[in-house]
Structure 1
Amino acid sequence: MIKIFTKLLFILLPFFFALQGFGQRYEAENAILSDGASEEACTACSGGFSVTQGEGNLQFNISLTEEAFYNIYIVASSPGGEKTNIISVDDTSADFQLVQNSEYTRHKVVNTYKLAAGDHVIEIKKSWGWINVDYLELEKVSVSDRFNLNQTLVTPDPTPEAAALYNFLLDNYGDKIISGVMTLNSMDEVNWLKENTGKEPALVGLDFMHSGREYNWYDDKEPINDAKDWYNRNGIPALMWHWRDPSRATDEFYANSQSNPGGTEFDITKIADPNSAEYTAMLADIDYVAGLLKELQAQNVPVIWRPLHEAAGGWFWWGAKGPEPLKALWHLMYDRMVNYHGLRNLIWVWTREPGDEAWYPGDEYVDIIGRDIYKTGDHSSHAIEFNNMNALYGGKKMITLSEVGSFPDVDKLIKDGAAWSWYMPWYGDYTRDSQYNSLELWEKMFADAYVITLDEMPELSTYVRQEPGQEPTGIWYKNVDKPSFVAYPTIVKNDLIISNESRIQTVAVYNIKGQLLKQQEVYGDTVVIPFKGYSPDIYLVRVNQKGVVKVVKE
């Protein structure tokens, strides 16, 4: 009898703890095991068993009774050393790392992820493999404090234009995503997109890769000329720097390694010695690029500035010697550009790599966090990656897809609540080849109300932060006629239907702040306006530049 009671208690304890707020638990031994993953007896484990992953995978089929946001944990050990593996929720995946540990410990692998009521598949997939898994746990969480964004730039007394651009990014964060594209030669991919879709992205990526090298075939000022021209069209210029060997011994920016034997041997550790030739060379290059950026500041042009990208990957010389020299170089660059050269027009972006916490320069030196993701044909929202990064930085920094191979589908971004600030596919095949991004997907993105294109951008130089609930301003709103058309339903879920006795020529949608979101030409007396991509709020709909009605998006 005692044995039966003990066994029953052993079985019921997990459910008791779940009721006490420990979340919903799914034993690894009850998962679908494949490719060599195997169940093992484990006296220290919940349920008396664990799963040795080996080279295999675990699949948990779960069912939820209500839509909610969840944290997802695994309880696991990694006795064979530090391991990286993949957590996948339905069609979205991300890497997670476990340090060497023979004890079974609890690890949060997914933060604040939205799951609908119904069935879901959560998988632990092999990257390195060889961890031992006790169980998976889901914990329902509140998202009321999901974001606590820094409201000002890290640069003291930024230029009005830089502050205005940052305010624009803040206002749209979580409500829309800004479209972008990287260029190799002046506006090449922008022009291709214009020719093939009829639209242009709002953000353009530019590179100082060739500047300062005295190439007789290159105009050093091409990046800043393009940045000024783009900003004059209310576009966002995003500048980066594939910084070639400062010593001029090579033209490489990749570090010499077994996989790249022709790379530079430039030694970033000399950042610690101001008397070294390497320190002098780095400072000279920083000063040169700062001079170009000062020309933009003199012309009132703000810049998204993303230097020293992907440092923790180790493939560039600035990341080849570990985190401490890299942080010292970032701090030197910031101090030299901001305090010595007086640059106040920069918005500083740090490009994260997985597990790079020791590399981070610090909140006081970074405005926005970027992530470069190259997964061919993967158009998922990358919401796991987004949520984990948001939690890592305490919700204080906007998060962006600073580079992508294949960009997310807008429907999945909206469904999963992945609030990336912008997305920027790389140039060449990443922009033009359908194996990465099809022309149909480009057109779908550019047509959706959730995606901001160049033609939808406001006057950036005078942009003012919008307060929630602020009434629209401007002559057009104060002097409009009473509406002669019919719009229904007034509480919209998906589509708004507009009909008019006379021909409808134009329909425009504004937010409650009076900013134009979308305008289209119509040739008929009835039109359907999709509201699927709009966030819940009050909107203004104007027909033929005359009457206006208020519409509530549910």
Structure 2
Amino acid sequence: MEFTKTLLAFGLAAAASASAAQYEAEDGTLTKDAAVASNTEASGGKYVKMNGGDITFPAVTVEKAGQYSVVVHYMNNYGGDKINYVGVGSTTSQVSFPVTDKGKFVDVETVLTLSAGANTIAITNSWGWIDVDYIEVKEFEAKAFTLCNAPVTKNATPSAIKLYNFLVNNFGKKTISGVMTGNMDAYTIGDATQHEDVQAVYKAGGKYPALIGADLMNATGANKDEGWFQQYTEKAIDIAKTTWKKGGIPAFTWHWRPGDEVEFYVKGAHDTYTEFDFSEAFIKGSTTWDTTSAAYKAIVGDIDYVSQIFLDLQKEGVAAIFRPLHESGGNWFWWSINTGKQFVALYQLLYERMVFKNGVNNLIWDFNPQDASKLSWTPGETYYDVLSVDIYNKANDHQSNSAAFIDFANKGGTNKIIALSENGPIPDVDNMYAENAPWSWWMPWYESWSAGFVSQTAESVWKKNLADERIITLDEMPGWDNYNEAVSATKACPTSTENAKYGAGEATPEDYKNLMMAVTYTALNDSGANIELKKVPNLTGATTVSLKITNNGSGGADNGIWVGLAFVRNGMKDDAWTWEMSTSTGCWINDGASATCEFDITKYEDDDKVEHPIDLDNLFSVTLMVAAVGFEGTVIFDELVADNGKVISAFDKKTELFTAADQSKGHIAKIELVDETGAPAAIKPVVAKASASAKLGVSGKTVSLTTAKAGMVAVEVFGMNGKRVATLYKGNLAAGTSAFSLADMPKGRYIVRVKGAGIAATQPVLIK
């Protein structure tokens, strides 16, 4: 078989010459709770509410076998992106259905391989409800890729240019085999092919993979200087060195443990987690870095440390693929818990500090969103060379994953290499090249640590694929000293340039301005309405929480509102999710009145009225319930604080806002930040310079603050990881000298920060 084309005939769905066939959802077979509903916006006036059920289209008929574009005309008014499966028979693909305007249907497209004659297409519920009007089926047509003729790093090293040229010259013609390494305990420095995960591939398929992955997860974090963690990082670096020397391709992932944190997962994603919030590194209300903040210093400290690892490799002539901040847009890693704009700022800071400040020029950069729906999180095309996705099919499912490949090509453009950066079973080579999904490389996750991902592909499939001339194995690599092939691509693309607002200059924290959360309710019924915050600090030691509430609404039957509080226990570890509602009777606030409500959080009652202690160190979310039949209007919330000093939400930034629970969305018009006048909070920050007459000092366990004028002031304490651990004072402070006690703080190093009344100051402190 000939594989010499330089233009790639795959990738983008174009308008087909053949007419499209439309299949109405209401004519399909509905299962579980899926039901037909009416809407004048829908085709024929009817559509299907999936309601957690499935829709099957049993007679989708095409004249000839091949790939077809399947357009789903849908509506998602349920909040947040939903993921469902669309497929034919046992071959299915995950499809993301973003939120749509209220009452409006839009299109999302995927690609399926259909047989000649009748086919059965199913939309199967996976994660979240959607409404479906119809599907449209039309022939799929492909366009050519036009790749960039150079990497985005302008001063890329000769080794990096060789690696980039090799990736470009083989893309669409051959796929690079790979594997990720995990456990390093048994690995002896000196030969990457002897790592147990690489050996697992060799034993299964008879050849070594050409690409070998390693993780920098232990290079940063609280334990990075301990023996086992240091050895792990040293061995990961050796994997890269010896892979390159053998003519292979090193590929780095970075499960980033920030600062002094011990985890990279966020709460709800793992039984151990970090509460590091990188938005604390921005000037409030912006994506401009506050370079004086502890969070910023933790971030750049880690970046500089990892940069040195790559600089050492650069000196030895080693290049590598680097996939930082991976699976972006997913809500399981700390770098994806905030907004897309904040993620972009973080990615650009990482790239620019490594490349422009530290001189790291030996990397091919891989941008890895959760899926194509998160391409809106792109840092910009001058910040990455490769676009990749992670897909884990069931064991022995060797489909090409062409729907994902084509979705990335459609939405990400045709000038970037596309790779399968993590996977379980490998995609079969025949499927890939028959279905227009020739991934640049695939990389099964490790076999070690009992993960077993290499074993998810049978030995017969390993042998068949590694022997195929379209799959590149280590023995088929040319050797980097011998590889001088010019790049086949001709398109000149822009390279990265330093962006002055990232990492340059010294930003100053903004003047403190108290903000609050305003929730506008409409036509409450006897069920009330719930709002929730899925981020709760460890409240161990607390007995109560307080909340300031102002009722600016009216119309309730009793001229007021009742407010209650409950937690959801995190059941990720033991599958024991529980609703733990405070046994307090709640709080009553008359129309037009304000109150500070206090809730007992020591215990809750189950359905049988039996009391249990609230699991304060394992909370997933907090819910505020408002009840008043007929009530309408706005309620202001401020300062949700526990009596042990932990701030659950100060409502001073968007990430501290609650969201409407699914069942309450119809009774909540909006949730927003407002200032003390009730006006929507300005996004643009007001930057204040410290007053010359202001003085901040720490003596022993006492913080002293002297200011020439009165005003709103916040005195906060941060850990060295950038996480706020205490609020010593927040409110209107008189002019003169004030003292605040650190007596309740445990031993350790902290940063005291003061904002407000013309003050912007920080002071390190050591509590012995």
- Does 2:393 align with 1:375? yes
| 2:299 is equivalent to residue 282 of structure 1 | yes
Q: Equivalents in 2 of 1:80, 1:324: separation in Å?
A: 23
Equivalent pair of 1:425/1:431 in contact (CA under 8 Å): no
1:268 aligns with 2:289: no
The alpha-carbon distance between structure 1 residues 319 and 151, as it changes in their structure 2 partners (threshold 3 A), is same
Instruction: Report the more deviating stretch, 310-319 or 66-75.
Output: 66-75
- Residue number in structure 2 paired with 1:92: 92
Match of 1:498 in 2: none
Question: Unmatched 5+ residue regions in structure 1?
Answer: 1-17, 469-554
Change (3 A) 1:141 1:258: closer
* DSSP 3-state at the match of 2:83: strand
Per mean C-alpha deviation after superposition, the further-off stretch among 275-284 and 430-439 is 430-439
Contact conserved, 1:70 with 1:138, CA < 8 A, in 2? yes
| Deviation of the 1:434 alpha carbon | 7.4
Is the aligned partner of 1:463 residue 2:484?
yes
Structure 1 residue 58, shift from structure 2 partner: 1.6
Of 44-53 and 393-402, more deviation after overlay is shown by 44-53
Amino acid paired to 1:206 = A
Q: Does the 8 A contact of 2:201 with 2:454 survive in 1? A: no
1:229 aligns with 2:242: yes
What is the distance in 1 between the residues matched to 2:268 and 2:41? Answer: 43
Aligned partner letter, 2:215? D
1:52-111 residue CA offsets vs partner (Å, 9 max, x unmatched)? 322221222322223565432122223444433222244131222131444342313215
Query: Is residue 2:455 matched to residue 1:439?
Result: no
1:34 aligned onto 2:28: no
What letter matches 1:279 in structure 2?
Y
Partner of 2:225: 214
Cα deviation, 1:439-474, whole Å, max 9, x if unaligned, reads 332222212222111111123342313659xxxxxx
Q: CA RMSD in A?
A: 2.6
Q: Name the CA shift for 1:41/1:310 in 2 (closer, same or farther; >3 Å).
A: closer
Cα separation, partners in 2 of 1:435 and 1:279, compared to 1, 3 Å: same
1:203 CA displacement: 0.3
Residue pair 2:47, 2:134 contacting (<8 A) in 1 also: yes
Amino acid at match of 2:427: P
Aligned identity (percent) is 37
Q: What's the CA shift for 1:268?
A: 0.9
Question: For residues 435 and 237 of structure 1, do their structure 2 counterparts lie closer, same or farther at Cα, with a shift above 3 Å needed?
Answer: closer
What whole-Å deviation, never above 9, does each CA across 1:352-374 have from its counterpart, x for those lacking one?
A: 11332342211111111111122
Contact 1:56 1:129 in 2 (8 A): no
The structural deviation recorded for 1:134 is 2.0
1:399 shift after superposition: 1.3
Tell me whether 127-136 or 151-160 shows the greater mean CA deviation: 127-136
Conserved 8 A contact 1:53-1:129: no
Q: Is the 8 A contact 1:382 1:418 kept in 2?
A: yes
Query: Post-superposition shift, 1:144?
Result: 2.8
Match of 2:707 in 1: none
**One-letter amino acid matched to 1:132:** D
2:412 alignment partner in structure 1? 393
Segments of structure 2 that go 5 or more residues without pairing to the other structure are: 1-14, 188-194, 283-289, 490-768
In structure 1, the residue matched to 2:681 is none
Query: Within 1, Cα distance between the matches of 2:456 and 2:83?
Result: 25
Matches within 5 A, 1:212-361: 212=220, 213-217=224-228, 218-219=230-231, 220-246=233-259, 248=260, 250-255=261-266, 257-260=267-270, 262-272=272-282, 273-354=290-371, 355-361=373-379
Q: Could you list the per-position Cα deviations for residues 365-391 of structure 1 after superposition, in whole angstroms to 9, with x for gaps in the alignment?
A: 111111112233232111111111111
Alpha-carbon shift at residue 195 of structure 1 (Å): 3.8
Q: Normalising to structure 2: TM-score of the pair?
A: 0.54
The structure with more helix, counted as a fraction of residues: 1
> Which of residues 198, 202, 213 is equivalent to 2:206?
198
- Secondary structure of 2:237's counterpart equals helix
1:180 correspondence with 2:200:
no
Partner of 1:384: helix, strand, or coil? Answer: helix
User: Residues 353 and 196 from structure 1, CA distance in 2 versus in 1: closer, same or farther, beyond 3 angstroms?
Assistant: closer
Could you tell me how far apart the structure 1 residues matched to 2:17 and 2:211 are? 48
Amino acid at match of 2:157: T
Asked whether 1:413 is paired with 2:435, we answer: no
What is aligned with 2:651? none
How high is the TM-score relative to the length of structure 1?
0.74
Picking from 470, 476, 485, the partner of 1:450 is 470
Closer, same or farther in 2 for the Cα pair 1:330/1:128, shift >3 Å? Answer: closer
Greater CA deviation, 101-110 or 307-316?
A: 101-110
Q: Answer yes or no: is the 8 Å Cα contact 1:58–1:123 preserved in 2.
A: yes
Give 1:242's aligned amino acid: H
Whether the 8 Å CA contact 2:247–2:478 is kept in 1: the answer is yes
Deviations 1:102-122, CA, capped at 9 Å, x for gaps:
4342313215x5656444332
Alpha carbons 2:16, 2:138 under 8 Å: kept? no
For the residues of structure 1 that align with 2:434 and 2:123, how far apart are their CA atoms?
22
Cα deviations by residue, 1:206-247 (Å, 9 ceiling, x for unpaired):
11122251122333432222212111111000011112131x
Specify the code of the residue in structure 2 equivalent to 1:363.
E
Aligned to 1:352, what secondary structure does the other structure show? coil
Q: Give yes or no for contact 2:51–2:129 (8 Å, CA) kept in 1.
A: yes
